Copies of this chain bind each other. A is one copy, B any other.
């Protein structure tokens, strides 16, 4: 089956495809907020109807949380499963949006046309690139080149509590040759990538208690230990002057980069220039990680530590001379290679306890732990997809790392014993999880065309 007419169909149908995406974007399916439970149902219903309009056998599947959507269509190998999520992040602070986040529109920007609205890039726009590629295949050829299973989740932005049980209970139905996941980004606007390395994540919440109650700093200041002083000392000690994390044993299970990947990454451009460009977009210029590593390594293949939140004492307007009883922080570690999240958690707790003055106590709260994941790229589908993407975009596709954690990729391996391939068309400036989220119209248009090519290449691989 020829892909050229299918690509032409994508081009001709772009406006109608954008309108369908806007329909889905108008549904405020915020999964983390119980007030939007009905809207999550509504988004699932919309997707079921859309898959049925393609001729797929599709249904909404209840879970203890928001429902899954599962659909099947087509015949022949390979059997591809496509995963995406229909839920979105909350929109606050609403006042920082330039438009209603759930009234999406196409806007002209200096970087070209974009679709603006919550969920455009994460993940409704990406999800629909695949659905629209299937629609075009069916419109032109009356069928798809192979069997496809759609698997859409509605809890990705709220920790996916129902995902693993659902995968286990429906393993026979979901098991396929490979999972395609469209929830990642391009290397740059001209260079597509397949994400083959994902960092893990370990999160901890720390509460340090000093005095048994809030004190007046006039009466007690100077003699009573201030837990903020203890907390800042503990946190400040987590990095040394070279940017390395100081926890004992932290780097023990961190591998050096394989030579083949090192070469691919080196071909992407001058490391210093890339780091400056990447940081320049967010008002920075100096890489803050280990000073012997390139910027790409810092975010793709090296572990990190960040304080994601800190609070204690009086934080309102004006001033209050309180010496607080407690100080708090949320700390996370991005993990790579074989770093064991539980071992890193234990090392962190031991480090904090070791720094505590005798009068202070500490409580820890565990916040999730997932190891890093490296995809098995030996399946011929990986090289087939890399070729298909390279045909569509100006630059050849690259096997890339990803600084974030996408647990779903590991779940397919762990619970369904199948590989996963991460292909996405997001750009660094999409402002996902932030006000004014957008998806470049090029990402949407060439994303659909990319999937048309990947489906064609998969059939032949």
Judge whether A248 is part of the interface by a CB distance below 8 angstroms: no
Residue of B nearest to A334 (CB): B221
Q: Interface residues of A, CB < 8 Å — how many?
A: 85
Q: Do residues B359 and A285 form an inter-chain contact, with CB atoms below 8 A?
A: yes
Query: Within the assembled complex, what's the spacing in Å between the Cα atoms of A80 and B294?
Result: 74
Residue in B310, B324, B402 whose CB lies within 8 Å of A232: B310
User: In the complex, what's the smallest C-beta–C-beta distance from A275 to chain B, in angstroms?
Assistant: 7
Query: Within the assembled complex, what's the spacing in Å between the Cα atoms of A220 and B434?
Result: 14
User: In the complex, what's the smallest C-beta–C-beta distance from A223 to chain B, in angstroms?
Assistant: 4
Query: Within the assembled complex, what's the spacing in Å between the Cα atoms of A320 and B92?
Result: 14
A269-288 vs B, Cβ < 8 Å mask (1 yes, 0 no):
00000010011001111111
Q: Do residues A286 and B357 form an inter-chain contact, with CB atoms below 8 A?
A: yes
CB within 8 Å of B: which A384-425 residues: 402-405
Which residue, of A286, A295, A310, A431, has the highest number of chain B Cβ atoms within 10 A?
Answer: A310
For residue A239, which residues in chain B have a CB less than 8 angstroms away from its CB? 229
User: In the complex, what's the smallest C-beta–C-beta distance from A325 to chain B, in angstroms?
Assistant: 8
Known contacts A286-B357, A315-B328, A322-B309; is-contact A235 B224 (Cβ 8 Å): no
Judge whether A201 is part of the interface by a CB distance below 8 angstroms: yes
For residue A284, which residues in chain B have a CB less than 8 angstroms away from its CB? 210-212, 224-225, 359
Known contacts A222-B298, A319-B368; is-contact A359 B311 (Cβ 8 Å): no
Query: Within the assembled complex, what's the spacing in Å between the Cα atoms of A332 and B239?
Result: 26
Q: What 8 A-B pairs come out closest when comparing CB atoms? A: A218-B404, A212-B283, A309-B313, A236-B236, A222-B304, A225-B288, A222-B298, A228-B307
